[in-house]
DNA sequence: GCATTTGTGAAACATCTGTGCTAAAAAAGA
DNA sequence: TCTTTTTTAGCACAGATGTTTCACAAATGC
């Protein structure tokens, strides 16, 4: 029959172009024309794969959210699979490694984090994105919650902590660090943010 | 001579209209026409007080930033003036009160926080706002830093903490809580966020 | 080779945006 | 009342945006 192009692959290619535009010039410049141009496509081609601008926006949002959380989930499941370490510093390092996937520590994760922030803020007033935003909240809540459980279940944990409370504080720290590192990279270097995260986890486990 | 209108007062009135538009419909809808309409003015009138759109944006950003930090500074200076309390829970409560001014705990502060977030994110790609954003960073850094010093100087402080590190963690928590409360008010009620902040301060002072 | 289906490109339209320009209205002094 | 200056209102223009529509190209199955 007709010409065959991997449609799904093409949609992700357009989404990547959108990410690039948002990361470089902000969500306000993410017009269909700008996206098409950076994707090397014509405006008509982009609209062939996405009926709406809204459809492109939600699709890209979900790709971005999944990309971020899948990285963390991979490391998390590896952590849950291995037997509990008897050494405190090892446990801290493992948990730090999982949560660090949610921080903009390298250029790739930085672009993801920038796009993520812009999307979450936009979802506040953009009803078409609110469902995707809800799913995103649940995803990060699940990752952080499971990390907290790992800490709680460790025999090295001497304090009595309320899991929900610590998850909330940890989420706040992650969001806050991510925000600062995205907006103010000059003052918030990657190693700096990572160290703050590690220090907090050490505090939780400290006797 | 001519009709006399308090120009400064008029500029703040326009800024308030801009805040209203941003809080209700997001920064993308903050066009001069929308602002003029919600301010009850004609487009030409708005442009009479602000030559540029950029001038209005920066002016409103600074008004917003100062409004937030002045509230916290007032309480902070009251705290620094009074003699150190010998009771630990009193000190925590005082410091919580200062930092709580940076959180969206009521409708007024919520609108301020929303506008603040949108502006900070926009400043990332909007060179016209980067100076104002820098000033904002310094302002919150100063407030949080001075609160941390209050905690450190207390004879009730038993731990040995690095002030800069704790200030950074505290800023992250404040930013993260603020972000969550702005974006997800259904899951992050005001009392909830306030409790998390208080708990963190108690943790810092705990023996 | 041909027809059919899919992909591509471009032109056109209505809408919204910031900005420049002009003219009327309003108020205070002469 | 008349003049002067500020304030207000409105029009017009260029540019950008989402969307619609249509024509053309390309590739697969017959």
Residue of A19, A61, A169, A186 to mutate when probing chain B, most B C-beta within 10 A: A169
- Cβ atoms B171, B144 nearer than 8 A: yes
Residues of chain A with pLDDT under 50: 1-2
Distance D12 C1' – B44 CA (angstroms): 14
Q: Looking at residue A1, what is its pLDDT?
A: 47
**Pick from B162, B116, B158: which is nearest to B140 by CA?**
B116
**Pick from B166, B153, B196: which is nearest to B178 by CA?**
B196
Q: Which residues of B touch A175 (CB under 8 A)?
A: 172, 175-176, 179-180
Q: Is the CB of B31 under 7 A from strand C?
A: yes
User: Which segments of chain A does DSSP mark as H helices, in order?
Assistant: 7-25, 32-39, 43-49, 53-81, 88-100, 107-123, 130-153, 163-183, 190-205
Q: Which nucleotides along chain C are within 7 A of a protein C-beta?
A: 4-11, 16-23, 25-29
**Pick from A106, A109, A107, A118: which is nearest to A72 by CA?**
A109
With CB atoms and an 8 Å threshold, state whether A183 touches B133. yes
Q: Looking at residue B75, what is its pLDDT?
A: 96
Distance from CA of B33 to the nearest CA of A (A): 18
Q: Looking at residue B158, what is its pLDDT?
A: 82
- Cβ atoms B187, B180 nearer than 8 A: yes
Q: Is the CB of B34 under 7 A from strand C?
A: yes
Phi, psi of B86 (to 5 degrees): -85, -10
Q: What is the pTM of this model?
A: 0.94
Residue entry with tokens 């720290």: A173
**Pick from B171, B29, B22, B137: which is nearest to A183 by CA?**
B137
Give me the residue from B114, B179, B192 closest to A179, CB to CB: B179
With CB atoms and an 8 Å threshold, state whether A180 touches B180. no
* Angstrom distance (rounded) from CA B91 to CA A165: 22
Residue nearest to nucleotide D19 (CA to C1'): A52
* Angstrom distance (rounded) from CA B82 to CA B67: 24
| Mean pLDDT score across all residues of chain A | 93
B97 token code pair? 């009160």
* Angstrom distance (rounded) from CA B182 to CA A199: 27
Give me the residue from B24, B169, B183 closest to A200, CB to CB: B169
DSSP helix/strand/coil, B179: helix
A139 token code pair? 């995803």
Q: Which residues of B touch A121 (CB under 8 A)?
A: 117-118, 121, 183
- Cβ atoms B79, B27 nearer than 8 A: no
Residues of chain B with pLDDT under 50: 1
- Cβ atoms A150, A78 nearer than 8 A: no
Q: Looking at residue A94, what is its pLDDT?
A: 96
Nucleotide in closest CA–C1' contact with A55: D18
Detail the protein residues whose CB sits closer than 7 A to any atom belonging to strand D: A 1-4, 29-34, 43-44, 47, 51-54; B 1-5, 7, 10, 41-45, 47-49
Residue entry with tokens 């990361």: A23
DSSP helix/strand/coil, B6: coil
Residue nearest to nucleotide D7 (CA to C1'): B3
Please count the other Cβ atoms lying within 10 Å of the Cβ belonging to residue A58: 20
Give me the residue from B120, B125, B183 closest to A124, CB to CB: B183
* Angstrom distance (rounded) from CA A200 to CA A58: 34
**Pick from A172, A31, A124, A26: which is nearest to B120 by CA?**
A26
Chain A, nearest residue to B172 by Cα: A176
- Cβ atoms A76, A146 nearer than 8 A: yes
Using a 10 angstrom Cβ sphere, with 0-12 exposed, 13-18 middle and 19 or more buried, the burial of residue A84 is middle
Question: Chain A residues with CB-CB distance to B under 8 A?
Answer: 24-29, 114, 117-118, 120-126, 133, 137, 165, 168-169, 171-177, 179-180, 182-184, 187, 192, 196, 199-200, 203
Return the ∠ at Cα A186 (arms to A108 and B103), rounded to 5°: 95
């Amino acid at each position: 029959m007709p010409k065959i192009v991997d449609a799904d692959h093409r949609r992700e290619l357009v989404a990547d172009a959108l990410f690039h535009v948002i990361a470089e010039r902000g969500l306000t410049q993410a017009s269909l024309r700008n996206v098409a141009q950076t994707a090397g496509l014509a405006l008509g081609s982009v609209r062939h794969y996405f009926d709406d601008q809204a459809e492109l926006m939600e699709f890209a949002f979900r790709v971005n959210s999944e990309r971020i959380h899948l990285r963390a989930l991979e490391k998390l499941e590896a952590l849950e699979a291995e037997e509990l370490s008897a050494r405190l510093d090892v446990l801290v390092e493992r948990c730090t490694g999982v949560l660090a996937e949610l921080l903009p520590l390298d250029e790739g994760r930085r672009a993801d984090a920038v796009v993520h922030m812009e999307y979450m803020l936009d979802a506040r007033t953009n009803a078409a994105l609110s469902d995707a935003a809800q799913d995103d909240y649940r995803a990060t809540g699940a990752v952080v919650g499971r990390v907290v459980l790992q800490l709680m279940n460790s025999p090295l944990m001497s304090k009595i902590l309320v899991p929900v409370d610590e998850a909330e504080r940890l989420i706040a720290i992650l969001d806050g660090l991510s925000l600062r590192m995205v907006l103010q990279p000059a003052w918030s270097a990657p190693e700096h943010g990572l160290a703050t995260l590690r220090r907090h986890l050490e505090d939780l486990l400290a006797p």
